[in-house]
Amino acid sequence: MARPGNKIIQAKLVLLGDMGTGKTSLALRFVKGQFYENQEPTIGAAFFTQVLSLTEATVKFDIWDTAGQERYHSLAPMYYRGAAAAVVVYDISNKDTFARAKKWVQELQRQGEYLQYKKTVLLFILFTFSLVYVIF
Ligand SMILES: Nc1nc2c(ncn2[C@@H]2O[C@H](COP(=O)(O)OP(=O)(O)OP(=O)(O)O)[C@@H](O)[C@H]2O)c(=O)[nH]1
Ligand SMILES: [Mg+2]
């Protein structure tokens, strides 16, 4: 809930990474505090919102959770365009997903003009249940 009189920041956040690395699980944990062992793969992309009330400001997150399957790769620019931050996710037990994460970082750096700020916050998230708050 927004605090009365508090500054409101609207921020688009995009989750990127290989299939099965836990993007949707992270989003669901952040937004609903839930976890599903049999989480279905995302088709295309999923959208979530979450409001974070801080002392200085209230942050309204628009979260785009992209699908990691290769066939959806070409859709990605639609979701990272105008994003304030990108969270790149990989599975610590799967080396290939780390290589894929590095490719995402390179793509974001190449496509810098798509992003809202030149200085994009890039985070590598390990395969854990940690709750991630990205503030910028
Ligand atoms: N053990 C364990 N399993 C997890 C964790 N995070 C996610 N999973 C499981 O891993 C599987 C894939 O998780 P998803 O959140 O669907 O992964 P995703 O990155 O959204 O996958 P795509 O939508 O296909 O790109 C699901 O069965 C989850 O339950 C974790 O931290 N630990
Ligand atoms: Mg997913």
Give me ligand 2 centre to Cα 67, in Å.
Answer: 5
- What's the gap in Å between 8 CA and the centre of ligand 2? 28
Give the pLDDT band (50/70/90) at residue 114: low
Which range marks the domain in which residue 115 is found?
7-128
Segment 86-103, tens digit of pLDDT:
899 988 888 899 899 989
* Domain containing residue 51: CATH number: 3.40.50.300
Under the banding of pLDDT at 50, 70 and 90, the label for residue 106 is: confident
Bigger pLDDT: 128 or 42? Answer: 42
Strand partners, 52: 59
Mutate to test the pocket of ligand 1, among 19, 24, 65 (most ligand atoms within 8 A of CB): 24
Distance 88 CA to ligand 1 centre (A): 14
Given a cut of 80, whether residue 128 has pLDDT beyond it is no
Task: Determine, yes or no, domain membership for 23.
Answer: yes
Looking at the DSSP assignment, which residues form a beta bridge with residue 9?
A: 59
Q: Is residue 104 included in any domain, yes or no?
A: yes
User: Is the residue at 32 inside a domain?
Assistant: yes
- Does 122 reside within a domain? yes
- What pLDDT does 69 receive? 96
Instruction: Please report which confidence band the pLDDT of residue 116 belongs to, taking 50, 70 and 90 as the band edges.
Output: low
Domains identified in the chain, total number: 1
Q: Report whether pLDDT(2) > 70.
A: no
- Residue 136 counted as domain residue: no
- Domain assignment present for residue 1? The answer is no
| Residue 133 within a domain | no
Angle at 48 between CA 72 and CA 77, to 5 degrees: 35
Alpha carbon nearest to ligand 1 atom 6, residue = 22
Distance in angstroms (rounded) separating the CA atoms of residues 27 and 29 = 5
Q: Which residues line ligand 1 (CB under 6 A)?
A: 17, 19-25, 36-39, 41-42, 67-69, 127-129
User: Is the CB of residue 6 less than 8 Å from the CB of residue 58?
Assistant: yes
Which residue owns the Cα nearest ligand 1 atom 32?
128
How does pLDDT run across 24-52, given as a tens digit for each residue?
Answer: 999 999 999 999 999 999 999 999 999 99
In a domain, 2, yes or no: no
